[in-house]
């Protein structure tokens, strides 16, 4: 990467970090070019060069936050040696991310139906693709061995991620009856039971 490219990447990272801070402090209304220029000192021309528009910036921030979440899930899987521990680790890692990275988790969930998503869907999907493929590839040997039920990948995702995503969304929205500590104790095993296959769990060496 050339020095110019490095400077450009550093500027984009600084703007995205400032955008998340503004979102955390002021909500969606805080993400304006005027506020970002005041916060970062970056010129309007530079902002438009890197992101094209406020919607483009929001899409880039969504991709960044989602990538951080998926990286946390992958890191949890890398430490797991069986299908059961892997599924449980995914659940625990998602809940931990929501608790430890509240602004990023809030942005992810608040953006799920945002107006900027359709126009930038291809770019967002491209950012997620390699990480989602890694997770699917990690699960595949267990599916083939009958330790995880064979379903289309999107349905497996709904069974494993759907419950914790909704639990996190409600907690982030301030639901008084949702406690992530309790969820982290109760949900991992129940979610594992929803996707376990007929064969007993083994580690990745077949033991």
Q: Cα separations (Å) of 109 from 40, 58, 197?
A: 25, 13, 30
Q: Which CATH architecture has domain 54-195?
A: Orthogonal Bundle (1.10)
- Residue 200 has what DSSP assignment? P
Tokens of 180: 């992530």
When the candidates are 2.40.128, 3.40.50, 1.10.10, 2.40.50, the CATH number that belongs to 1-52 is: 1.10.10
- How many angstroms separate the CA atoms of 194 and 206, rounded? 22
Q: Examine the pLDDT at 32 and tell me if it is beyond 60.
A: yes
pLDDT per residue as tens digits for the range 114-163: 777 777 788 888 889 999 999 999 999 999 999 999 999 999 999 999 99
Residue 204: per-residue pLDDT: 54
Tokens of 158: 């709904």
Residue 207: per-residue pLDDT: 43
- How many angstroms separate the CA atoms of 159 and 162, rounded? 6
The torsion angles phi and psi of 196, rounded to 5 degrees, stand at -70, 145
- Residue 5 has what DSSP assignment? H
Task: Collapse the DSSP code of 40 into the 3-class scheme (helix H, G, I; strand E, B; otherwise coil) and give the result.
Answer: helix
Residue 116: per-residue pLDDT: 75
User: Domain-by-domain residue ranges, the chain?
Assistant: 1-52, 54-195
DSSP string covering 130-144, please? HHHHHHHHHHHHHHH
Mean pLDDT of the chain: 90
Q: Is the pTM of this model over 0.85?
A: yes
- How many angstroms separate the CA atoms of 43 and 38, rounded? 9
Average pLDDT over residues 3-16: 80
- How many angstroms separate the CA atoms of 8 and 56, rounded? 16
């Amino acid at each position: 990467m050339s020095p110019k490219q490095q400077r450009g990447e550093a500027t984009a990272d600084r703007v995205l970090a400032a955008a998340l801070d503004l979102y955390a402090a002021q909500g969606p209304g805080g993400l304006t070019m005027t506020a970002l220029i005041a916060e970062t000192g970056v010129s309007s021309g530079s902002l438009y060069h890197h992101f094209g528009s406020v919607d483009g910036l929001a899409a880039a921030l969504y991709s960044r936050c989602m990538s951080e979440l998926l990286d946390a899930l992958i890191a949890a899987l890398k430490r797991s040696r069986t299908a059961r521990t892997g599924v449980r680790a995914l659940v625990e890692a998602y809940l931990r991310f929501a608790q430890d990275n509240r602004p990023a988790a809030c942005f992810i969930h608040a953006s799920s139906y945002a107006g900027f998503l359709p126009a930038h869907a291809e770019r967002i999907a491209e950012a997620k693709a390699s990480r989602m493929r890694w997770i699917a590839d990690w699960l595949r040997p267990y599916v083939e061995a009958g330790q995880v039920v064979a379903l289309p990948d999107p349905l497996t995702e709904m069974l494993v991620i759907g419950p914790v995503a909704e639990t996190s969304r409600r907690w982030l929205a301030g639901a008084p009856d949702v406690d992530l500590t309790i969820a982290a104790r109760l949900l991992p095993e129940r979610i594992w039971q929803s996707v376990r296959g007929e064969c007993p769990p083994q580690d990745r060496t077949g033991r």
